[in-house]
Amino acid sequence: MLLSSATVRYAGGEWLAQYPRYAKAAEHRMSRLNGQYLKDQKALELLVPWLAALSDAEGAYPGLIRLSPEAYQYRWMLEEFRVSLFAQQMKTRLPVSAKRLEQQWQQVQAWMEQNPR
């Protein structure tokens, strides 16, 4: 998702500037997989439902991330949540938690209701 052509095309300078940090976070995660596979899997279980919600919404509402500022923010919150789960020492660019993701997701849903396809 992070390296898809659509993501890179519409990321904007503020988020493209974060790509080196995301790469370091991914490298950190991979380096720890051998010794902490179960911990990694538990963190992944926290992340997957949030990713799936956005993926499902994009399937039903093509172009959602480009059209909805709320979805755009949610999309990048997911990357920050990934950093917080897998590379905590790298810090996040913005405060993020499951509760904050839920609040942002509710805003995405409200936007979709107000802007039917």
pLDDT band at 68; cut points 50, 70, 90: very high
Mean pLDDT estimate for the chain? 91
Residue 97: which region, alpha, beta or left (left: phi > 0; alpha: psi -120 to 50)? beta
Q: What is the pLDDT of residue 13?
A: 86
Top pLDDT among 60 and 32 is at: 60
Q: Structure pTM?
A: 0.88
Q: What is the pLDDT of residue 79?
A: 95
Q: What is the pLDDT of residue 5?
A: 72
Span 40-62, pLDDT tens digits: 899 999 999 999 999 999 999 99
